[in-house]
């Protein structure tokens, strides 16, 4: 038996699943930003429930309450922001307030209330996930630090270790060992 590693983009996978389900059920839609879809016509409740149940099989939930939708919009905006080639130069609080067209204090309070974590912590987690991907693409720690707008390599390394329990170099070493072992098996 041979172990195979798979690289996937969760956001893209969810987008494809959503599109396939909407098309299979004949529901006219228009995609917006990450995680947002406009259903163009009234859909009978039975059909909507079928869509919701089909999506739940894949771990995708349809959000009905406004605060749940806001939390997802905040997360999607942060994921999109961290995924850029260069992070915004403005304060992140200003960036989020502008993108979501809401007061940052309100955004932050709702996020903390529902996730039991701060927006800042969520941004750090997303930056570290992106750092892992960039390190796997053989970028140097200096390049990753620059792309993710860290003040220094030491700052990135410290956050990386705090979140993952590993230094970036140990992380790369483990991944390279796994790849090497996968090729020899």
Q: Delimit the domains of the chain by residue range.
A: 1-62
Whole-number Å distance between alpha carbons of 25 and 50: 9
Whole-number Å distance between alpha carbons of 26 and 109: 39
Whole-number Å distance between alpha carbons of 152 and 161: 14
Handedness of CA 55, 59, 66, 89 (dihedral sign): negative
Contacts of 146 (CB under 8 A, 6+ apart): none
Q: What is the pLDDT of residues 51-105, one digit of tens each?
A: 889 999 998 888 777 888 899 899 999 999 998 877 877 789 999 999 999 999 9
Higher pLDDT, 11 or 133: 133
1-62: CATH topology is Alpha-Beta Plaits (3.30.70)
pTM of the model: 0.70
* Secondary structure letter of residue 1 according to DSSP: -
pLDDT at 167: 94
pLDDT at 34: 66
CA 82 to chain centre: 9
Q: What is the pLDDT of residues 11-65, one digit of tens each?
A: 788 888 988 999 999 988 888 766 778 887 887 888 888 988 999 999 888 877 7
pLDDT bracket for residue 168 (50, 70, 90): very high
């Amino acid at each position: 038996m041979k172990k195979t590693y798979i690289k996937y983009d969760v956001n893209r996978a969810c987008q494809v699943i959503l599109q396939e389900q909407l098309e299979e059920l004949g529901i006219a839609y228009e995609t917006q930003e990450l995680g947002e879809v406009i259903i163009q016509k009234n859909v009978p409740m039975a059909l909507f429930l079928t869509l919701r149940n089909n999506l739940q099989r894949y771990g995708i939930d349809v959000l009905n309450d406004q605060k749940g939708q806001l939390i997802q919009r905040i997360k999607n905006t942060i994921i999109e922001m961290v995924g850029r080639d260069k992070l915004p130069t403005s304060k992140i609080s200003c960036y989020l307030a502008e993108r979501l067209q809401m007061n940052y204090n309100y955004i932050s309070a709702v996020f903390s209330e529902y996730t039991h974590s701060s927006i800042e912590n969520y941004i750090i987690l997303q930056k570290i996930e992106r750092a892992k991907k960039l390190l796997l693409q053989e970028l140097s720690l200096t390049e990753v630090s620059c792309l993710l707008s860290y003040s220094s390599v030491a700052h990135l390394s410290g956050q990386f270790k705090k979140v993952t329990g590993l230094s970036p170099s140990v992380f790369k070493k483990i991944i390279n060992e796994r790849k090497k072992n996968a090729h020899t098996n």
